[in-house]
Chain A
Amino acid sequence: MTRRHDDPLAGLPQAFDAQGSSFFEVLRRQAPDAVPELLRTGELPARLRDELVEGTTVLAITARDGVVVAGDRRATAGHQISRGDIRKVFPADDWSAIAISGAAGPAMELARVFATELEHYEKVEGEPLSLEGKSNKLGHMVRANLGLALQGLVVVPLFAGVDPRDLTGRIYEYDPVGGRYRATEHAASGSGSLAARTTLKRLHDRGATVEQAAHNALEALFDAAEEDAATGGPDLIRRIYPIVAIMDADGYRELEDTAVAEMLEEVIDPRRR
């Protein structure tokens, strides 16, 4: 039995509803107008596409006892720098992070729906999803964006975290059609990813602590900023530093600006003349 939309009991769950624990499906059924355009697919006027704000480089790297996700703070619109303090790394829940590059608006919306999705599942089911399950769900959401991706509104998240059951850090990459790939050591996404990946490959160390991995992440972001015009370096004048999120046995935490500034000093110092 399906209840009508205006029935006061429309929100009651149905038995054997396979989508019942998904916030995204609930949103689609109960508040269809609130579903982000990104996840509903539709036409985007060409005029808007030129004013689109794009986020640039984000990356993730594994360590011995966890995983690190970091991103620069620049957003561009065409050849303009539209923002210098944008956030591209978000906590998805207490154990994982989602980092976004590509069309910034829809990507942030994706991160928000996804974080709500994970919390919703945890509350309804009484226990959190496995890391593999979370990454799979995100793949479905990226796939739902295929229509807009074909028009150039590409959103490719990077998802990383530790599974609270076995405490191993894992990284998942996506492609615009929702393909999901597990990266064993490191991953980078966005316009500066080529340069970042070279550095990550050179510096990655299986036995590194999360702090060393965070240092390596900053090295990679710095190199990306030097090679790629759309990636912002650390803004030492205004003290705007990359966001560095660490996930380990204690869960998700972000490094304080002062800690990032100290690490950056170690990155910058050898390059000084």
Chain B
Amino acid sequence: MATPYYVAPEQMMKDRAEYARKGIARGRALVAVEFAGGVIFAGENPSRSLYKTSEIYDRIGFAAVGRYNEFESMRVAGIRLADVKGYQYDRSDVTVKPLANAYSQALGAIFMGESKPYEVELLIAEVSEQPEDGDPGLELYHILYDGSIVDEHRFVAIGGEAEALMGALEQRWEPGLDRDAAVRVSVEALSEVAGRDIPEATLEVAGLDAARPRRRFFRLRDEALTRALGR
């Protein structure tokens, strides 16, 4: 019988984290930017149908970077949890925090227990049911590959060039942006870090608008996106 060789837990965690980080860094980045009425998700995505952002429930939105098959299964699991809860209790009882916790638990369990960690980072956002003027009551959670969870404010970038993007957003973001201004801030930051203009056709822009009735998730495409960008 072959003797299983010993790996120190510290070493194993380090190796796994490095593996996940490398995988995530290979993919394109994505930003979330708060505006007066909600939040904008924007990223470069050449595909017109394989989205990185999604609606989860009335007031909850999802965005992810990394491996598509892995975050897609996370997305569907989130929709399932939200729909089952909303059915059992009430639509207004479906909130983002338990969902962020579930993602954190799942990614943590995968990080330690599975043969390889998921190479994904997730953003889960919720806008308030009764937004005040200029304040959408945004809750934004950033969940990492190892299950660690950070609540973010104002703006956040995930994926490849996250640090450079955070710097670019820091310079541009200001409180009380309207929706279109937030879209422009996001796309300008993405373009600056990419070092080139990003054409509309390869932009994925979505978000949550607290002022909408019932389902707050929206996507900006084609003419609507061109108009928002003021191009």
**Residues on A facing B (Cβ under 8 Å):** 8-9, 11-13, 20, 23, 26-27, 30-31, 34, 112-113, 116, 119-120, 123-124, 126
Q: Is the CB of B49 within 8 A of A126?
A: yes
Given A26-B84, A31-B88, A120-B79, CB of A8 within 8 Å of CB of B106 = yes
What 7 A-B pairs are tightest by C-beta distance, nearest first?
A: A11-B77, A13-B76, A8-B109, A8-B105, A26-B80, A120-B83, A34-B88
Chain B nearest CB: distance from A180 CB in Å?
24
Q: Which of A11, A34, A113 contacts B80 (CB 8 A)?
A: A11
Interchain CA distance A23-B56 in the complex, whole Å: 13
Interchain CA distance A126-B81 in the complex, whole Å: 17
Q: Which of B76, B83, B110 contacts A119 (CB 8 A)?
A: B83
> How many contacts between A and B, using CB within 8 angstroms?
56
Interchain CA distance A123-B55 in the complex, whole Å: 7
Q: Is the CB of B77 within 8 A of A112?
A: no
Closest to B86 in A: A116
Residues of B within 8 Å of A23, CB to CB, are: 80, 83-84, 87
B interface residue count range (under 10 / 10 to 19 / 20 to 34 / 35 or more): 20 to 34
Q: Which of B54, B87, B106 contacts A12 (CB 8 A)?
A: B106
Q: Is the CB of B87 within 8 A of A116?
A: yes
Chain B nearest CB: distance from A90 CB in Å?
14
A-B CB contact pairs (8 Å), 29 listed: A8-B102, A8-B105, A8-B109, A9-B106, A9-B110, A11-B80, A11-B106, A12-B73, A12-B106, A13-B77, A13-B80, A20-B76, A23-B80, A23-B84, A23-B87, A27-B84, A30-B80, A30-B84, A31-B88, A34-B87, A112-B87, A116-B83, A116-B86, A120-B79, A120-B80, A123-B54, A123-B79, A124-B79, A126-B49
Residues of A within 8 Å of B74, CB to CB, are: 12
Chain A nearest CB: distance from B57 CB in Å?
8
Q: Is the CB of B109 within 8 A of A27?
A: no
**Residues on B facing A (Cβ under 8 Å):** 49, 51, 54-56, 73-74, 76-77, 79-81, 83-84, 86-88, 102, 105-106, 109-110
Chain A nearest CB: distance from B153 CB in Å?
27
Interchain CA distance A13-B49 in the complex, whole Å: 19
Q: Is the CB of A11 within 8 A of B83?
A: no
Q: Which of A26, A116, A126 contacts B51 (CB 8 A)?
A: A126
Interchain CA distance A116-B49 in the complex, whole Å: 24
Residues of A within 8 Å of B77, CB to CB, are: 11-13
Chain A nearest CB: distance from B58 CB in Å?
10
Q: Which of B79, B88, B109 contacts A9 (CB 8 A)?
A: B109
Q: Is the CB of B84 within 8 A of A31?
A: yes
Residues of B within 8 Å of A119, CB to CB, are: 83
Residues of A within 8 Å of B88, CB to CB, are: 31, 34
Given A8-B106, A11-B77, A124-B79, CB of A27 within 8 Å of CB of B56 = no
Residues of A within 8 Å of B83, CB to CB, are: 23, 26, 116, 119-120, 123
